[in-house]
C-alpha cells in the first residue's frame, strides 16, 4: 500500500517526445488522478533524447516514456531496465510515396528507396521492415535509408530524394493535400498492435517501498479508461496548450482517430503476444540475439497493483 503523507511524492518523467498519442499521461494530470495518488508528476524532453537513460540512472527521474526496444537492446549487455506500463499500442505513422501506387501491397516497396528516421531512435525502420516482412515483402530488396533525422528526410523527400517516406500520419495527410505525395497506408491501422511507447525504469525505482510506479500506473489506467469513453473534444484544453500550432479541430480528429484505431486499448498492461511480435522484428533487424522472456523485460507488479486497486 502507498505511504500516506501530506507531501506529494515527486514522479519525474524523462520523455523521448511530446506526442498526442501520450494523451492518457496528460489526462491523468488534468483530471487530478496523480494528485489523488499523492504524486506530483512532471515531464520534460531532453536533447539529445538519449539523455533519458542518464536521467533514470541518476535516480532523479523515476521513469522514461519511450520505445521498449531500448530496454530490450540494453538487457544482458549494459544495464537492466524494466517496462511497467504502456501508453500507446500502435505506430502513429504513415507511408507517403512520391508517385501513386494502386492497390498497394508490401512487396511494392521492393526496389524502392524508403526513408525512415534514425536520429530519434531505431524503432521506425525496424518496425517497418518487420511489418513489410510479415506482409511477404523481400526486405533485402528494399533500400532503407535511416541515418538521418526525420526533419532532414522530410526536406530531402520534398526536394526529390527517395521514393517513399515514413512519417507522422497527420503530416503525411497534410503533404498529400498539398500535392507533395500519396499516402500508401496508415501504419496505425495496417501495422498492427505492438507496445510502441511504454514507461520503463530501473530495478531500484521499482523496489521503492512507497510503490511509486504502482501509484502512477493506477492513475494512468484511470485516465485511459476515461479517454475511451470520451471524445477528442474533451481533450481540447490539453491539445490547445501543448500543440498551439496545430489546428485544434485537426488535433481533436487525431485523438478520435487514434481511439478508433486501437491506440489505447482497455488496459495499460504490456501484453505478452505484442511484445513477442515486436521482439521478432528486433531479431530480424539484428539488434537482439533472441527473444527475451517477458518477465525479464516487464515488471508486472505496478499494473497488478493498479488492477487490484481499481477492482479489475
* 3 in a structural domain: no
Q: Choose the final residue of a domain: 140, 164, 190.
A: 190
- Reply yes or no on whether the pLDDT at 60 is more than 50: yes
Show the CA angle centred on residue 90, arms to residues 137 and 196, nearest 5°: 95
- Reply yes or no on whether the pLDDT at 215 is more than 70: yes
Residue 254 burial (10 A CB sphere; 0-12, 13-18, 19+): buried
Domain residues for the domain of 26 are 9-90+194-309
Share of the chain above pLDDT 90, in %: 81
Contact (Cβ atoms closer than 8 angstroms) between residue 93 and residue 196: no
Per-residue pLDDT of 245-281, as tens digits, reads 888 998 999 999 999 999 999 999 999 999 999 999 9
pLDDT for position 203 = 97
β pairing state of 63-66 and 9-15: parallel
184: left (phi over 0), alpha (psi -120 to 50) or beta: alpha
**pLDDT mean over 161-180:** 89
- Reply yes or no on whether the pLDDT at 240 is more than 50: yes
Show the CA angle centred on residue 57, arms to residues 89 and 53, nearest 5°: 45
**Which residue is associated with the grid cell 500502435?**
90
Pair (44, 129) in one structural domain: no
* 283 in a structural domain: yes
Pair (223, 199) in one structural domain: yes
pLDDT for position 1 = 46
Pair (168, 135) in one structural domain: yes
Task: Compute the half-sphere exposure of residue 82: CA atoms within 13 Å on the CB side of its CA.
Answer: 18
pLDDT for position 175 = 87
Pair (69, 140) in one structural domain: no
Per-residue pLDDT of 13-48, as tens digits, reads 999 888 999 999 999 999 999 999 999 999 999 988
Contact (Cβ atoms closer than 8 angstroms) between residue 37 and residue 2: yes
- Reply yes or no on whether the pLDDT at 2 is more than 60: no
The pLDDT confidence band at residue 212, using thresholds 50, 70 and 90, is: very high
Domain of residue 294, CATH code: 3.40.190.10
- Reply yes or no on whether the pLDDT at 85 is more than 60: yes
Q: What angle do helix axes 301-309 and 212-228 make, rounded to 10 degrees? A: 60
Beta strands in 8-138 (DSSP E): 9-15, 39-44, 63-66, 82-88, 93-97, 113-115
The pLDDT confidence band at residue 191, using thresholds 50, 70 and 90, is: very high
Q: Choose the final residue of a domain: 190, 207, 242.
A: 190
Amino acid at each position: 500500500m502507498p505511504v500516506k503523507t501530506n507531501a506529494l511524492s515527486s514522479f519525474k518523467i524523462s520523455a523521448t517526445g511530446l506526442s498526442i498519442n501520450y494523451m492518457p499521461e496528460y489526462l491523468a494530470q488534468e483530471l487530478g488522478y496523480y494528485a489523488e495518488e499523492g504524486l506530483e508528476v512532471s515531464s520534460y524532453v531532453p536533447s539529445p533524447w538519449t539523455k533519458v537513460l542518464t536521467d533514470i540512472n541518476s535516480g532523479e527521474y523515476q521513469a522514461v516514456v519511450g520505445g521498449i526496444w531500448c530496454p530490450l537492446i540494453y538487457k544482458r549487455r549494459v544495464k537492466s531496465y524494466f517496462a511497467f506500463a504502456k501508453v500507446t499500442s500502435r505506430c502513429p505513422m504513415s507511408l507517403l510515396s512520391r508517385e501513386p501506387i494502386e492497390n498497394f501491397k508490401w512487396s511494392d516497396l521492393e526496389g524502392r528507396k524508403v526513408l525512415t528516421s534514425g536520429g530519434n531512435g531505431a524503432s521506425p525502420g525496424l518496425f517497418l521492415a518487420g511489418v513489410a516482412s510479415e506482409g511477404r515483402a523481400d526486405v533485402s530488396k528494399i533500400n532503407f535509408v535511416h541515418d538521418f533525422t526525420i526533419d532532414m528526410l522530410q526536406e530531402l523527400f520534398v526536394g526529390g530524394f527517395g521514393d517513399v517516406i515514413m512519417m507522422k500520419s497527420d503530416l503525411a495527410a497534410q503533404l498529400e493535400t498539398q500535392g507533395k505525395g500519396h499516402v500508401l497506408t496508415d501504419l496505425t491501422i495496417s501495422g498492427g498492435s505492438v507496445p510502441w511507447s511504454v514507461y520503463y525504469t530501473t530495478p531500484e525505482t521499482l523496489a521503492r517501498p512507497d510503490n511509486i510506479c504502482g501509484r502512477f500506473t493506477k492513475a494512468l489506467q484511470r485516465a485511459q479508461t476515461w479517454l475511451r469513453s470520451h471524445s477528442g473534444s474533451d481533450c481540447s484544453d490539453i491539445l490547445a496548450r501543448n500543440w498551439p500550432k496545430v489546428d485544434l479541430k485537426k488535433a481533436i480528429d487525431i485523438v478520435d482517430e487514434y481511439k478508433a484505431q486501437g491506440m489505447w486499448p482497455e488496459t495499460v498492461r504490456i501484453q505478452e503476444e505484442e511484445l513477442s511480435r515486436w521482439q521478432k522484428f528486433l531479431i530480424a533487424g539484428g539488434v537482439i540475439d533472441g527473444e527475451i522472456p517477458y518477465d525479464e523485460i516487464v515488471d508486472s507488479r505496478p499494473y497488478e497493483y493498479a488492477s487490484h486497486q481499481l477492482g479489475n
